[in-house]
Amino acid sequence: MTQKQKPRFEKKTEEQIWKENRERISEIALQHPECNGIPIFHFDGQYAFLSNFEPSPILVDGYSFENGEAAFQGFKDMTRIDDFATLRPSKAKQLGRQVTLRSDWESIKSDVMYKVVFAKFSQNEHLKKKLLETGDRLLVEGNWWNDKIWGIAGNKGENRLGEILMRVRKELKK
């Protein structure tokens, strides 16, 4: 593999993701005694609406985007944020890897993700309804692309996206 090539991750089934991550999901569940029911641990299929790749027009800090992924990636470089407005999620993610990160990105990225997720569910009534219908279930972004910051993979990860989704759900219940 050359230096520029990235390892390819094979797409996995929900069952495979569960088997590989059940210990970490159990650890996360212990941190959330308020959660009930079967955890939602894969944002695909009927739970694809939890993903930032779900089409969901949003307005964040005066900027319009077609989906949460485009918004999140756009805020990485304010000089190019308008380039992300109409991008599909996969293109936004790709471009987001090429921009020059703003100097404060590491310290603000979780706050940006919160703003994006809150905008998505507060500005799209049908998505808000679906999020609230998850009740008190634990939300864990188990994934096959090895994201251990926003989700979990290989039985490791911070699950920041899941944590933000549960926080937004709690706030929207009020």
CA atoms within 13 A on the CB side of 51: 15
pLDDT of amino acid 52: 97
Residue-level pLDDT at 42: 85
Report the pLDDT value the prediction gives residue 133, as an integer from 0 to 100: 98
pLDDT at position 120: 99
Burial of 31 (0-12, 13-18, 19+ CB in 10 A): exposed
For 122, list phi and psi in degrees, rounded to 5.
Answer: -85, -25
The pLDDT assigned to 1 comes to 45
Per-residue pLDDT, 23: 84
Query: 14-173 — its CATH code?
Result: 1.10.357.40
Residues of the chain with pLDDT under 70: 1-9
Name the 3-class secondary structure at 58.
strand
* pLDDT confidence of residue 22: 79
- The CA distance from 69 to 88, in Å, is 8
Return the domain boundaries, the chain: 14-173
* Residue 140 pLDDT: 95
Amino acid identity of residue 125, one-letter, is E
Note the pLDDT of residue 131: 99
Q: Which two tokens stand for residue 117?
A: 């997720």
Sign of the torsion formed by the C-alpha atoms of 99, 83, 74 and 131:
negative
